[in-house]
Amino acid sequence: MTGAQILIECLKREGVEVIFGYPGGSVLPIFDKLYDADIKFILTRHEQGAAHAADGYARATGKTGVCLATSGPGATNLTTGIANAYMDSIPVVAITGQVKSFLIGNDAFQEADVTGVTRPITKHNYLVKNVNDLARIIREAFHIASTGRPGPVLIDIPVDIQQKDIDFIWPETVDIRGYKPTYIGHPGQIKKAAKLIAKANKPIIYAGGGVITSGASPELKALAEKIKAPVTWTLMGIGCFPATHELALGMLGMHGTAYANHATMESDLIIAVGARFDDRVTGRIDKFAPYAKVIHIDIDPSSISKNVKVDIPIVGDARNILKELLEEIDKIPDTSDWLKTIQAWKRKHPLTYQYKGKINPQYVIEQIDEVTGGEAIIATEVGQNQMWAAQWYKYKYPRTFISSGGLGTMGFGFPAAMGAKVGKPEKIVFDVAGDGSIQMNIQELATCVCNKINVKVAILNNGYLGMVRQWQELFYKKRYSYTCLYNPDFVKLAESYGASGIRVTKKEDVRPAIEKAIAIDNTVFIDFIVEPEENVYPMVPAGEAINRMIGGMA
Amino acid sequence: MKHTISVIVENKPGVLARVAGLFSARGYNIASLAVSETLDPTISCMTIVVEAEDEKILEQIKKQLNKLIDVIKVTDFTKKEHVERELILVKVNCPVKDKIKLEGLLNKYIAKIIKYKDNAAIIEVVGEEAQIKQLLEALNQFGVIDLIRTGKIAMI
């Protein structure tokens, strides 16, 4: 078999159903084999779209996403998507062509040192120098991407390696001596955690993306209900616990709910599960949760005590550890007063907005939630649209909220929604977008239309780069430096690609437009002309403690 | 505080760049670095000396090193009983008349002249940091022309 054939054969054996990518000179042998391979290939219109689509597919399905691009510019166009997957611990395998082995380092046409470029933004990467290593490398790549704390792995394959003919040997096992993730939590630490929980009066569970990765939602719910602790979550944790549950506090941090932030600050015990105390969560770190002891469950030892001092670290898989912890807990804390206090905060300081004559973006999200019954997959771009989508949709299940958390990549949502829809064709998939973000990967309209990937894009069109404008309003004396946008006619634009477009300017038309968009068997852009200077509240200014909110309770 | 860290790694291309990248990305300067194959030719040992102002950042770097797929083991020798050595080559001015004096000085250390030419001596010195520092100070009286060091290696 040739290297290219080996690649396809290995991908099939790894269970890959779909590849997102873009052809080019250095991957011609691979594309020649793809031509009659029984793996679905989706031709995106930009390599960045392919990387985000693979990422969105992985988030929606839990499987490893695969993207493919040529050398040089093809590969460098993947890098934003790779960095995005790295920051959010998403399993992606990126395959890139490379110039012929003997030309590497020669400034050959379309050459870039891709393993060099992606070294700090991949969990691991490989340059294949011998075709005999190819099968082993592919196996290792999938193993590394999907186990431990997941992440992207890149395989750079020179053209001549793709062409070389050898006997194919499938490595039955993977053994990497430097890579042995810890899955089982230390029993002594779990015992200590159970004891600490028994003594807590004001416990709070702080859940992150790790809960979703490990599939620990049922155990998390069981823990919350057993110890009667409220649950708050990070942006990445959205969906890990039902927003409709009585113990749910919603998201915490910079744009978290007032009651989640106050509960965190007042708590005497934080049980952190698969979350990393990111600066958007903690705000000013030396003022963060001053009364709380911290139990931190995480599969990545380097997350522990990185930002916040941890009293009881437990390294391992969240699901395993929560199961053990549930067995270990026999004494249950009395949290009734605590829950009453939280109920009072919830009643007094709910999320809110005011109608000022134009459509409220928050209202659009509420309506999408009502129309879909909280059953849709919601992808987002980055900025105000993302925060409103996080705050106002009631997510009930893991893997239904798909958003660029760590890297904050504008242009992520649309291709990610596309990837999610490919992975979950039975689901309604929305991309909640801003008029700025949607233009960053708008070329994927062609991909959606050609492949009949029906994604509904709700553009919250305020004519601004809304979040930056909000900061300029609040902290830069309303000097709107380069945040006002001139936009195309999104309806005509969608139609020119063969998609459908709907424009909505009145509140009463919001719901019918959403219903209509869902009914149309096509990708639809809904251009919601919204209140231009609406802000996301509550908001914790950068560098403040998280209970010092604007638009929350001070 | 100076830390001597030993990193056992896969003997593969690119591994040094990965390891060095973790330090450089955090603005940490590597004071010295010695890399070589071990008894097992598939494994290399990197001995890294780094000045850490903030122990927390160093702790983070060690954890990050452990996360690298090609890293097999990380040991911080700083708080462990260990031996460490460094080899240096130092060139000093040494007219023929001073040669005996220089040799007298070197006799107190593990040091010897390995080349003598044009009124200059190249000296090989092996030792611990303190000894080397002491000798280098003493050599100043001759006039040091050039100096090169291998970087520290250490063993438990």
- A229-251 pLDDT, tens digit per residue, is 999 999 999 999 999 999 999 99
Domain edges within chain A: 3-163, 187-348, 361-529
Q: Which two tokens stand for residue A82?
A: 């790779």
pLDDT of residue B88 exceeding 60: yes
Architecture of domain A361-529: 3-Layer(aba) Sandwich (3.40)
Classified by CATH at the fold level, domain A3-163 comes out as Rossmann fold (3.40.50)
A250 contacts A257 by C-beta, under 8 angstroms: yes
Q: What is the pLDDT of residue B58?
A: 83
- A29-55 pLDDT, tens digit per residue, is 999 999 999 999 999 999 999 999 999
Please judge whether B71 and A178 are an interchain contact, meaning their C-beta atoms are less than 8 angstroms apart. Answer: yes
Mean pLDDT calculated for residue range A329-345:
95
Please judge whether B21 and A119 are an interchain contact, meaning their C-beta atoms are less than 8 angstroms apart. Answer: yes
Q: Check whether the bond before A415 is cis (ω within 30° of 0).
A: no
Q: What is the pLDDT of residue A553?
A: 53
Closest CA to A159 of A122, A124, A131: A131
Does residue B12 belong to the interface with chain A, where contact is any CB pair within 8 Å?
Answer: no
What's the CATH number for A187-348?
3.40.50.1220
What share of chain B in percent tops pLDDT 90? Answer: 81
Phi, psi of A38 (to 5 degrees): -90, 50
pLDDT greater at residue B25 or residue A12: A12
Q: In whole angstroms, what is the distance from residue A24 CA to residue B142 CA?
A: 64
Q: What is the pLDDT of residue B120?
A: 96
Q: Is B153 helix (H, G, I), strand (E, B) or coil?
A: strand
- Claim: this prediction has a pTM higher than 0.90: yes
B 100-139: CB under 8 A from A: none
> Going by C-beta distance under 8 Å and a sequence separation of 6 or more, which residues neighbour residue B63?
A301, A302
Mean pLDDT calculated for residue range B29-36:
93
Q: How many CB atoms lie within 10 A of CB B123?
A: 26
- First-to-last C-alpha distance (Å) of chain B: 20
Please judge whether A178 and B68 are an interchain contact, meaning their C-beta atoms are less than 8 angstroms apart. Answer: yes
Q: Which residues are bridge partners to B127 per DSSP?
A: B86
Q: In whole angstroms, what is the distance from residue A520 CA to residue A423 CA?
A: 20
Q: What chain A residue is nearest to B24 in terms of C-alpha separation?
A: A120
Task: Band the pLDDT of A93: cuts 50, 70, 90.
Answer: very high
Domain architecture of chain B: domains with CATH: 2-76 (3.30.70.260), 83-155 (3.30.70.1150)
Does residue B9 belong to the interface with chain A, where contact is any CB pair within 8 Å?
Answer: yes
Q: Which two tokens stand for residue A130?
A: 């011998």
b/e burial code for range A55-88 (CB count within 10 A of at least 16 → b):
bbbbbbbbbbbbbbbbbbebbbbbbbbbbbbbbb
Please judge whether B64 and A302 are an interchain contact, meaning their C-beta atoms are less than 8 angstroms apart. Answer: yes
Q: In whole angstroms, what is the distance from residue A130 CA to residue A475 CA?
A: 56
B67 contacts A302 by C-beta, under 8 angstroms: yes
pLDDT of residue A499 exceeding 50: yes
Task: Band the pLDDT of A552: cuts 50, 70, 90.
Answer: low
- A342-385 pLDDT, tens digit per residue, is 999 999 999 999 999 999 999 999 999 999 999 999 999 999 99
The DSSP secondary-structure symbol of A545 reads B
Q: Which residues are bridge partners to A484 per DSSP?
A: A464
Q: Which two tokens stand for residue B15?
A: 């591994």
CA distance B86 to chain A (A): 28
CA distance B17 to chain A (A): 8
Does residue A533 belong to the interface with chain B, where contact is any CB pair within 8 Å?
Answer: no
CA distance B107 to chain A (A): 45
Q: What chain A residue is nearest to B55 in terms of C-alpha separation?
A: A306
Q: Which residues are bridge partners to B113 per DSSP?
A: B123
What share of chain A in percent tops pLDDT 90? Answer: 98
Please judge whether B60 and A306 are an interchain contact, meaning their C-beta atoms are less than 8 angstroms apart. Answer: yes
Q: What is the pLDDT of residue A136?
A: 98
- A263-313 pLDDT, tens digit per residue, is 999 999 999 999 999 999 999 999 999 999 999 999 999 999 888 999 999
Task: Band the pLDDT of B56: cuts 50, 70, 90.
Answer: confident
Q: What is the pLDDT of residue A186?
A: 97
Q: What is the pLDDT of residue B132?
A: 95
What share of chain A in percent tops pLDDT 70? Answer: 99
Any idea what the Cα angle at residue A351 is, between residues A350 and A356, rounded to 5°?
A: 120
Q: What is the pLDDT of residue A120?
A: 95
Q: Do domains A187-348 and A361-529 have the same CATH topology?
A: yes
Task: Band the pLDDT of B61: cuts 50, 70, 90.
Answer: confident
A304 contacts A310 by C-beta, under 8 angstroms: yes
ipTM of the complex: 0.89
Task: Band the pLDDT of A554: cuts 50, 70, 90.
Answer: very low
Reduced 3-state DSSP string for A331-391 = CCCCCHHHHHHHHHHHHHCCCCCCCCCCECHHHHHHHHHHHHCCCCEEEECCCHHHHHHHH
Chain A residues in contact with B59 (beta carbon < 8 A): 305
Closest CA to A444 of A423, A413, A475: A413
Number of A–B residue contacts, CB under 8 Å: 38
Please judge whether B21 and A124 are an interchain contact, meaning their C-beta atoms are less than 8 angstroms apart. Answer: no
